[in-house]
Amino acid sequence: MTELMQADHVPLLFAAAALFCVTVYVLADGLDLGVGILFLAAPRDVDRDVMMASIEPVWDGNETWLVMGGTLLFAAFPAGYYILLPAFYLPIMFMLFALIFRGVAFGFRLQATRFRPVWDAAFFAGSLLATFCQGLILGGLIDGVPVENGMFAGGAFSFLSVLGVMCGIGLVGGYALIGAGWLIWKAQGPTQVFGREIARAALILTSAMMLLVSLWSAWSVPEVAARWFALPNLLWLVPVPLLTLAVIVGIWWAIWNGREAQTFVLSLVLFALGLFGLVVSMWPYVVPRQVTVWDGLSDPRSLAFLGVGVVVIIPVVLAYQAHAYWIFRGKVQHEAGHGGYG
Amino acid sequence: MDALALSRLQFAFTVGFHILWPTLTIGTAWFVTLLSFLWWRTGKTVYRDLMRFWMRLFALVFGMGVVSGIVLSYEIGTNWAGFSRSVANVLGPLLAYETMTAFFLEAGFIGIMLFGESRVSKATHFFACLMVAGGALISTTWIIASNSWMQTPAGAVADASGIYHVVDWWQVIFTASFPYRLAHMVCASFLTCAFVIAGVSAFHMWRGQHVAASCTAFSMALWLALVLAPLQIFIGDLHGRNTLVHQPTKLAAMEGLWDTTRGPAMTVIAWPDMAAQKNLYAVEIPHLASLYLTHSWNGKVEGLKAVPPADQPNVPIVFFAFRIMAGIGMVLLATAVTGLVLRLRGRLYDARWFQYLAMATTPLGLVAVLAGWTVTEAGRQPWIIYGVLRTADAVAPVTAGAVTTSLIIFFAVYNLLLLAFLWFAGRVAFKGPTDTTPQVAERPGMERASVGLFTGSPTSPSPAYGAGQAKA
């Protein structure tokens, strides 16, 4: 097993695993962060009850992929972990504060009486801030981080970039779109209509920011431009933006005319395409343009131990997470649970 | 303060805040699992009512644990980059396994446990509870394995640049201190929860409400305490003797022992003066420490002065934290034994003074857990990995300003959370095992909710549902 872990394809496998975790996190937590972003925009308290009930049984599982991504980075690509985390100290901390507030809002809102609007606001603001911070990190990543002697060598605010702000706004729009798609699928009546109405606004914001981020990063980061516009890359990458455009048009149509799950599924596809574009821009770096997946990898013996777990356990995890979604399938029934999250 | 001191303060604060919740989670999850099993097998409604009641409290506690735990998995990188760089090969896989085998398991079944009672069979509900409770224990195992490796490292060697490489995974996980620390922590969690359950039940018995359910829970909790309190002291003794062998300096700080001594006395209380390297105002019992540490009258115990002052931990912190933990252990043992005496005399459920005592012991387990972790973590200093990597060399290249900002916010946010938790958990606890479903009138916005809101599930005909319907 350990010998196997010295082969050349190993970094690719672990990079694929890490990427898979990030993708699942973004898609899964995207839906419940998105519902949170739309929370205060919903017209009635009943809508908010339905919105929260729709994600209550699954949000914890979704958020666990964030921990999985972090620990997998630590275990498989330590350089990414100990260089990037200090580099994004402030946005990571504020993301955590935001996730704390929205996490406890689930249970506290259920128990609250007079201060219920406060927890509504906490849930909304937490979801919004966490998403925006993730965008700041993403943009900062495309921009690159200063590294000296194998350690982060910038200041507290070197994460800040125009690209980060753009990504932040784009991600807010994108999560809102997934959240709206989720509501169209899981809710009925006026809550569903609300989902349809807000979905178009979210789609416009997402598409605009996707375009802006693509152009800006091609213009401001020469390596990204070289990756996309050099021949022969250009030829086989051309379908990506075209497909993205087709999906955007598809969502626009599906919001009012498609099957109920269609908006949700297509917005996941849109996100997957966006992530694919990012990978094209960033490959093969763990720390952008400093540490590649080959340089940043852990010991073969550690990877062998880790690899067994990833291969055996992750499929099982996916199976029972899917089972949890299956148990709570269908339209959200508005009923009082026996528990309530804290 | 510099980034190092601030990062230490922040980590101590956030990890100390976090440990409260897993401690409560492990015990209450197993209690709910037991109740779900009893409800499934016996069909007695008292178990169902208790299960739903403790599930509500569990849900609040679990949520606090989740949100404060995510913080830690990122703080190791944001604040301790030097440490992560050094140990990623060793601790990275352990933490990844914790996520894969424990967090996902809990997260995958918590929804069914808390919200699925009306959608699945009793057996499936029990299974979901079992998975959540099992996940909590698996998580404990990995985290204690990681911590124990930092206390008594084995199975890995450091290269010239200070990066550890694993030689033997078995040795990395089953380090010398791991079994003792694991047993001590798991037992602490169950013991803490036994007294929380006893305290909350005593409150209802004292108020004369939900008497049947409360007496059942009170009795179960005190039986548990009677077994666990002496067991915990026994495990603690074993753990202490393990520390004597593997981390003598920490043990010397716990005992307040400066000079290497044959047949050392037990220092009941003193003020350890680090500058003078001796105890002030010491009250001692001759040879007693030798008896419980070495199990002999004249055993040799290494003192703090065996290492230079720069390699000593902060002695007063370790010394007093240890006394708080051990003292609480004795109080809990005395309470459990008193409960047995009352039970044998048939007065367990009506001795008022004992109900006050039980209520007073409610938070003590948590205080002891905090004190115990203070002993083991502060006692490891100045090392982050005992004997090899100094905490000062483990810090991340972050600015003091950034850490100050996050520390202040953590302090404000966690205190706010604690208040909110106490408020909500207190309300749930005060209401007790039945009719905890919020009344319609108390919840603004809910009266406008759809009809049938409180018709709820067919398996839950508690009085509150009826009341809710009537008002709607």
Task: Give the ipTM of the model, two decimals please.
Answer: 0.84
Tokens linked to A285: 């770096």
Query: Is A89 in contact with B78 (Cβ distance < 8 A)?
Result: yes
Compute the Cα dihedral for B237, B12, B79, B398 and give only its sign.
negative
Q: A-chain residues within 8 Å CB-CB of B66?
A: 60, 63, 103
Give percent of chain B above pLDDT 70. 92
> First and final CA of chain B: distance in angstroms?
58
pLDDT one digit per residue (tens) for chain A, 342 residues: 566 666 677 888 888 888 898 899 999 899 999 999 999 998 888 889 899 989 888 888 888 888 888 889 889 999 888 899 889 999 999 999 999 888 888 878 877 778 888 899 999 999 999 999 999 999 998 888 888 888 888 888 888 889 999 999 999 999 999 999 999 999 888 899 999 999 999 999 999 999 999 899 888 888 888 888 887 888 888 888 899 999 999 999 998 988 888 999 999 999 999 998 888 888 888 888 888 888 888 888 888 888 888 888 888 888 888 887 888 888 887 654 434 433
Residue B425 β-bridge partners: none
pLDDT, one tens digit per residue, over A238-282 is: 888 899 999 999 999 998 988 888 999 999 999 999 998 888 888
Q: What is the distance between the alpha carbons of residues A62 and B66, in angstroms, rounded to a whole number?
A: 12
Q: What is the distance between the alpha carbons of residues A76 and A291, in angstroms, rounded to a whole number?
A: 13
Query: Which residue in A85, A43, A76, A2 sits closest to A195, CA to CA?
Result: A43
Across the interface, which of B63, B68, B167 has its CB nearest the CB of A107? B63
Residue of B nearest to A96 (CA): B71
pLDDT, one tens digit per residue, over B164-221 is: 998 899 999 999 999 999 999 999 999 999 999 999 999 988 888 888 888 888 999 9
Query: Is A342 in contact with B424 (Cβ distance < 8 A)?
Result: yes
Query: CB pairs below 8 Å between A and B: how many?
Result: 290
**d(CA A274, nearest CA chain B) in Å:** 25
The CB density around residue A294, as the number of other CB atoms within 10 Å, is 13
A109 phi and psi, to 5 degrees?
-65, -40
Query: Is B112 in contact with A63 (Cβ distance < 8 A)?
Result: no
pLDDT, one tens digit per residue, over B379-429 is: 998 899 888 888 888 888 888 888 898 899 999 999 999 998 998 888 888
Across the interface, which of B62, B84, B117 has its CB nearest the CB of A78? B84
Q: Is B173:A302 a contact under the CB 8 Å cutoff?
A: no
**d(CA B274, nearest CA chain A) in Å:** 35
Q: What is the distance between the alpha carbons of residues B423 and A88, in angstroms, rounded to a whole number?
A: 34
Q: Reply yes or no on whether the pLDDT at B322 is more than 50.
A: yes
Query: Which residue in A48, A60, A137 sits closest to A99, CA to CA?
Result: A60
**d(CA B415, nearest CA chain A) in Å:** 12
B positions 118-137 inside 8 Å of A (CB): 118-120
Chain A contact for B417, CB < 8 A?
Answer: yes
Query: Is B56 in contact with A61 (Cβ distance < 8 A)?
Result: no
Q: What is the pLDDT of residue B58?
A: 92
Q: How far is CA B241 from the centre of its chain?
A: 22
**Where is A169: in which H helix or E strand?**
helix A162-186
Query: Is B449 in contact with A334 (Cβ distance < 8 A)?
Result: yes
Q: Reply yes or no on whether the pLDDT at B460 is more than 50.
A: no
Mean pLDDT of B307-315: 90
Chain A contact for B106, CB < 8 A?
Answer: yes
pLDDT, one tens digit per residue, over B131-155 is: 999 999 999 999 999 999 999 998 8
Q: Is A269:A129 a contact under the CB 8 Å cutoff?
A: no
Task: Kindly give, in sequence order, each residue whose CB lies less than 8 Å from that of residue A154, ignoring residues fewer than 6 positions away.
Answer: A87, A145, A146
Mean pLDDT of B121-130: 91
**Where is B273: in which H helix or E strand?**
strand B266-273
Q: What is the pLDDT of residue A339?
A: 41
Asked if the bond preceding B382 is cis, omega within 30° of 0, the reply is yes
Q: Give the pTM.
A: 0.85
Asked if the bond preceding A232 is cis, omega within 30° of 0, the reply is yes
Across the interface, which of B55, B85, B118 has its CB nearest the CB of A78? B85
Q: What is the pLDDT of residue B435?
A: 47
Q: B-chain residues within 8 Å CB-CB of A328?
A: 111, 115-116, 119
Across the interface, which of B76, B428, B457 has its CB nearest the CB of A335? B457
Q: What is the pLDDT of residue A273?
A: 92
Q: What is the distance between the alpha carbons of residues A4 and A9, in angstroms, rounded to a whole number?
A: 10
Q: What is the distance between the alpha carbons of residues A124 and A36, in angstroms, rounded to a whole number?
A: 5
**d(CA B170, nearest CA chain A) in Å:** 11
Q: B-chain residues within 8 Å CB-CB of A90?
A: 402, 405-406
**d(CA B294, nearest CA chain A) in Å:** 38
Mean pLDDT of B236-250: 90
Query: Is A107 in contact with B59 (Cβ distance < 8 A)?
Result: yes
Q: A-chain residues within 8 Å CB-CB of B14?
A: none
Sketch the domain layout of chain B as residue ranges: 3-246+308-436, 438-472
Chain A contact for B67, CB < 8 A?
Answer: yes
B401 burial class (0-12, 13-18, 19+ CB within 10 angstroms)? middle
Across the interface, which of A58, A72, A313 has its CB nearest the CB of B101? A313
Query: Is A309 in contact with B96 (Cβ distance < 8 A)?
Result: yes
Q: What is the distance between the alpha carbons of residues B435 and B430, in angstroms, rounded to a whole number?
A: 11
Across the interface, which of A45, A82, A96 has its CB nearest the CB of B84? A82
Q: Is B28:B193 a contact under the CB 8 Å cutoff?
A: yes
The CB density around residue A27, as the number of other CB atoms within 10 Å, is 18
Query: Is B71 in contact with A321 (Cβ distance < 8 A)?
Result: no
B16 burial class (0-12, 13-18, 19+ CB within 10 angstroms)? middle
Q: Is B313:B253 a contact under the CB 8 Å cutoff?
A: yes
pLDDT, one tens digit per residue, over B67-101 is: 898 888 888 888 898 898 899 899 999 999 998 88
Chain A contact for B92, CB < 8 A?
Answer: yes
Chain A contact for B72, CB < 8 A?
Answer: no
pLDDT, one tens digit per residue, over A15-64 is: 888 889 889 999 989 999 999 999 999 888 888 989 998 988 888 888 88
Tokens linked to A46: 């009943």
Q: What is the distance between the alpha carbons of residues A129 and A107, in angstroms, rounded to a whole number?
A: 20
Query: Is A46 in contact with B448 (Cβ distance < 8 A)?
Result: yes
User: Which residue's entry shows tokens 């919105």?
Assistant: A51
Q: What is the pLDDT of residue B397?
A: 83
The amino acid sitting at B293 is L
Beta strands B164-166 and B383-385, pairing class: unpaired
Q: What is the pLDDT of residue A211?
A: 92
Across the interface, which of A71, A150, A320 has its CB nearest the CB of B108? A320
Query: Which residue in B143, B153, B154, B155 sits closest to B181, CA to CA?
Result: B143
Q: What is the pLDDT of residue B221?
A: 92
Query: Is B114 in contact with A152 (Cβ distance < 8 A)?
Result: no
Residue of A nearest to B109 (CA): A324
Secondary structure percentages of chain B, helix, strand, coil, to 5: 70, 5, 20
**Where is A291: in which H helix or E strand?**
strand A291-292
Q: What is the pLDDT of residue B360?
A: 92
Query: Is B409 in contact with A93 (Cβ distance < 8 A)?
Result: yes
Q: A-chain residues within 8 Å CB-CB of B169?
A: 301, 305
Query: Is B74 in contact with A96 (Cβ distance < 8 A)?
Result: yes
**d(CA B277, nearest CA chain A) in Å:** 38
Chain A contact for B114, CB < 8 A?
Answer: yes
**d(CA A318, nearest CA chain B) in Å:** 9
Q: What is the pLDDT of residue B461?
A: 36
Q: What is the pLDDT of residue B21?
A: 94
